[in-house]
Amino acid sequence: MPPRSIAAWLVCGTICAVGAFGCGHKASENDCEFILNRNVEVQMKAMHITDPVAIDKRKQEIQSSLKAELAGCVGKRITDAMMACVARAQSAEDIDGCMR
């Protein structure tokens, strides 16, 4: 997924989660990074890239390029159920579903 798509997903997805789940807690920087990293992992898996070094490198690239968007994610309302769903997700579509 291109960085702009991930940024839009982070911002819109987190906002959508507020309406869908209502209660929860405010997302920490770690929560937002987890969502972003999980998205990178499933996207790379879909491209048949399984090398942990390559995946970590891509995570760092995306985090650097989306620093402002990650900051916008911090403080948005999330739930433990949503985070568990993201952890179980096997595709970007699954993650998107978790965020709705």
Rounded to an integer, the average pLDDT of 4-30 is 63
In the chain, the percentage of residues whose pLDDT exceeds 70 is 77
Q: Are 44 and 91 in contact (CB under 8 A)?
A: no
Lowest mean pLDDT among 1-10, 38-47, 57-66: 1-10
pLDDT band, residue 81 (cuts 50/70/90): very high
pLDDT (mean) for 67-77: 85
Is residue 82's pLDDT more than 90? yes
Best CA proximity match to 78, nearest among 37, 38, 20, 36: 20
How many C-beta atoms lie closer than 10 Å to residue 9's C-beta? 20
Predicted pLDDT of residue 10: 61
Please give the C-alpha separations between residue 20 and each of 62, 63, 65, 79, 100, in angstroms, as whole numbers: 27, 26, 28, 10, 6
pTM of the full structure: 0.73
Mean pLDDT of the chain: 81
